[in-house]
Amino acid sequence: MDLHTPHPYWLLKNGLLCEYPALRNTLKVDYLVMGGGITGALTAWYLAQAGIQVAVVDRRHIGMGSTCASTALLQYEIDVPMHQLAKSVGEKDAARSYHLCIHAIDKLELICKKMPLPAGFERKPSVYYASRKADLVGLDQEYAIRKKHGIRVERWDKSDMISAFPAFKAPGALYSPHDGAQVDAYALTHALLQDALKHGAQVFDKTEIVDIRHEKTQVVLHTQHGQSIRAKQLVIAGGYESQEYLTQKVTRLHSTYALVSEPFDGAEIWYRDALIWETARPYLYLRTTPDRRVLVGGRDEPFFSPGKRDRLLAKKTQLLAQDFNKRFPTLAPLLVDFNWAGTFAETADGLPYIGTVRERPRTFFALGFGGNGILFSQIAGEIIRDAAMGKKNPDARIFSFARAKIV
């Protein structure tokens, strides 16, 4: 699958951060993680930390799937607002999912502090603004349910918005001063795998799994060059390409667009350099980068067709720049330095799928779909580590395939 245009910003900025060999021999391992993106890296890191024997394989270079295209906002706010999520999964699980995302940000912060390479982690506040007056009803419902469940959020009215973001013309917003962050997902993936290597993990890229057989006591896999891998357990962390290993269709693929500007002067580009997004769907979102650039993303299209997706890139870049100029006239015109398009997957309820399916014994899926993919990857890493250690994780149920809805 063609996951993105060739030059996402993080790939250009970081280049080949670390190199890994292709698998050249047969391999026997307790846990095999198929996929070396942020999900596979976090899972392998947690397993290696727990002293479990683990190997990672990826058909591409490490991190060059969706991870290098990620705009990497870390928001506890799931794409589906809590008051709506409560309708599909129940209020208790909706609130717990939001809290798990808050914990996931905290845990990623601690992990990033321990990493052997910098991963661009920065704490940021988050602003979720009402795109239209009509969205205020939903915004108030969202504020009420988040407050009820102890989330640290403020309800901003029109005048609060004007004093922070004068040109937005937004009638209100939810402001989360503490629970947001941003990261460089590609750098973090390499950092995690470098650290996992120190704890005994093995990492192979340019190694494609072309056949998987599930036996009673092991999973036997074959690579494109005919090597066999025997694993007691398999973790499928194949990102948006994982659907082919499932009989049930659980994801919908979209196309999405992002740009990064030339650097700005000054310490702060806008109000506290907050993460910004909105109630409209598809939503526009903005963040800054540690090298003082502006990142603008959105203008999604509801199709998966890499050719059609990429032909729209120039037009979408222009539209995203206009979106920015309208909201930040004092910073306009935005000078675009880099742009890219990517494929993006979402689930019917906005939650990821993490767990097992009957037709694939000895196999765990770690599928962090949606706008919070990275936080879901962090949650998956812990659930899989707990399962490997025979520890019951009470939250695993929330993300299991038992709730699967055909999309």
Is the separation of the CB atoms in 366 and 382 below 8 Å?
no
Q: With CB under 6 A as the contact rule, which of the stretches 53-61, 130-138, 159-167, 331-339 interacts with ligand FAD? A: 53-61
Q: Of 11, 55, 72, 387, which one interacts with ligand FAD (CB under 6 A)?
A: 72
Which tokens hold the place of 300?
Answer: 């999604």
Q: Is 107 among the residues that bind ligand FAD (CB under 6 A)? A: no
Q: How far is the CB of 151 from ligand FAD (least distance, A)?
A: 18
Q: Of 125, 298, 350, 373, which one interacts with ligand FAD (CB under 6 A)?
A: 373
Q: Of 31, 76, 129, 344, which one interacts with ligand FAD (CB under 6 A)?
A: 344
What is the footprint of ligand FAD within residues 235-294 (CB under 6 A)?
237-239, 241, 256, 258
Q: What is the DSSP letter of 23?
A: P
Q: Is 67 among the residues that bind ligand FAD (CB under 6 A)? A: yes
Q: How far is the CB of 134 from ligand FAD (least distance, A)?
A: 26
Q: What is the amino acid identity at position 16?
A: L
Q: d(Cα 6, Cα 203) in Å, to the nearest integer?
A: 23
Site size toward ligand FAD (CB under 6 A) is: 40
Q: Is 208 among the residues that bind ligand FAD (CB under 6 A)? A: yes
Q: With CB under 6 A as the contact rule, which of the stretches 70-78, 94-102, 132-140, 322-330 interacts with ligand FAD? A: 70-78
- Secondary structure (DSSP) of 119-134: ---EE--EEEE-SSGG
Is the separation of the CB atoms in 171 and 24 below 8 Å?
no
Q: Is 40 among the residues that bind ligand FAD (CB under 6 A)? A: yes
Using left for φ > 0, alpha for ψ between -120 and 50, and beta otherwise, residue 292 falls in left
- If the CB atoms of residues 69 and 321 are measured against ligand FAD, the closer one turns out to be 69
Angle ∠(175,180,184) on CA atoms, nearest 5:
140
Q: How far is the CB of 4 from ligand FAD (least distance, A)?
A: 6
Q: Of 20, 23, 39, 273, which one interacts with ligand FAD (CB under 6 A)?
A: 39
- If the CB atoms of residues 4 and 83 are measured against ligand FAD, the closer one turns out to be 4
Please list the alpha-helical segments (H only) found in 36-183: 38-49, 82-89, 91-114, 136-148, 158-164
Which residues are CB-neighbours of 364 under 8 A, at least 6 positions away?
Answer: 233, 234, 235, 236, 354, 355, 356, 384, 387
Q: Is 108 among the residues that bind ligand FAD (CB under 6 A)? A: no
Q: How far is the CB of 389 from ligand FAD (least distance, A)?
A: 22
Q: Of 5, 13, 60, 306, which one interacts with ligand FAD (CB under 6 A)?
A: 60
Q: Which residues bind ligand FAD (CB under 6 A)?
A: 3, 34-40, 57-60, 64-67, 69-73, 185, 208-209, 237-239, 241, 256, 258, 297, 342, 344, 368, 371-375, 377
